[in-house]
Structure 1
Amino acid sequence: MHWELVKLRKSRKITQIEMAELLGVDVRTYSLKENGKHDFKLEEIFIIAKFFGKRIEEIFLPRNIRNTDIL
């Protein structure tokens, strides 16, 4: 489940239908992606980040990885 995406979408009162339209996919497909059952395409990740005015890692990376250095 992409919790950050869900929280962001709901806080802005945007439906899964609207997100599906933004990405040009069926709402069921979007729902499966948001729930982590299917992966977002890289292009979709960029579209979502731009739409919300966020960096990709703010939406799609787990909190414990965002602020740490990976060696």
Structure 2
Amino acid sequence: MASTTTNGIGHDRSRSTPSLWTRLGNGLLTIADNNEYLGQARRLQAMSDAELAKRGVSRDKIVDHVFRYGYFT
């Protein structure tokens, strides 16, 4: 019967901290998720066509409506 002894000196890469690129990517995703324009677009997309009509927005114009004062002007 064989036995193995570990002394804790080795480095387990599966438990190491995320790489710089992983952390950077996660940070950018967090920024995007917290963006007010994206949040508003998601809320409007979740509405029914009748609810959108009450607001004067058609489903195909949600992005135009949300970003009318933002990034694209």
Fold shared per TM-score above 0.5: no
- Return the index of the structure with the highest Cα Rg: 2
Which is bigger in relative contact order (C-alpha 8 A, separation at least 6)? 1
TM-score by length of 2: 0.26
Higher helix share: 1
